[in-house]
Structure 1
Amino acid sequence: MTMAEPYRSTPIFDQDSLPAALRDNHQTKEGVWGLIRVLEGELNLTYVQPHSEKMLSPGNPGVVGPQQTHFVTPIGPMRMQVDFYNEPPLP
């Protein structure tokens, strides 16, 4: 089984450059998965419905399913990037 390849990635964001849109409720499009990769530091991923939270760190990415409402909160200094897939990624 081959690992899915991302078709697009965001720039690398830090705690200052992380867009407000990612800090507030948002979702991926239909048929799109997001893999949130933390390169340095920590990031809290909050799933809105049903509510749950996951602490992300290097080596512990977060997966967001299609149209799954979520937001992220930096925990101090951090660097992160989001990869987008049109099939479920295998973190």
Structure 2
Amino acid sequence: MTPSPVPYKTTIVFDENTLPAGFRKEHKTKAGVWGVIRVLEGQLRYQVLAPASDTALEPGIIGLILPEQPHRVEPIGRMRMLVEFYNQLPAV
């Protein structure tokens, strides 16, 4: 049995005030890099720009970021979140 992938990097926990400006505008991961957005408290708007989708993330609802997929996030009120980065498709 193959072990589940583990993140090679995890961001610090951000809140609505410390969320970097770069996360709020269009950006993407590098080739071969997946991301998992985990909301710890509150809600976060996760917009994938291609193909277009708009999802409200909250604890228990993760946002999967595919390699090179343009996306952005925006807090919905008070929130706390982090991002995990993987070099293979994570088991979510």
Q: Distance in 2 between matches of 1:6 and 1:56?
A: 20
* Residue 76 (structure 1) aligns with: 77
Q: Runs of 5+ in structure 1 lacking a partner?
A: none
TM-score by length of 2: 0.96
Instruction: Give the residue type in structure 1 aligned to 2:53.
Output: S
Seq. identity, % = 48
- Are residues 1:43 and 2:21 paired? no
Q: Distance in 1 between matches of 2:41 and 2:6?
A: 22
Q: Structure 1, residues 43-73: CA drift from partner, whole Å, max 9, x if none? A: 0100011111111111111000000000001
- Please tell me the root mean square deviation across aligned C-alpha atoms, in Å: 0.7
Runs of 4 or more, structure 1, over 2 Å off, are none
* Residue 67 (structure 1) aligns with: 68
Matches within 5 A, 1:29-40: 29-40=30-41
CA drift of 1:90 comes to 1.4
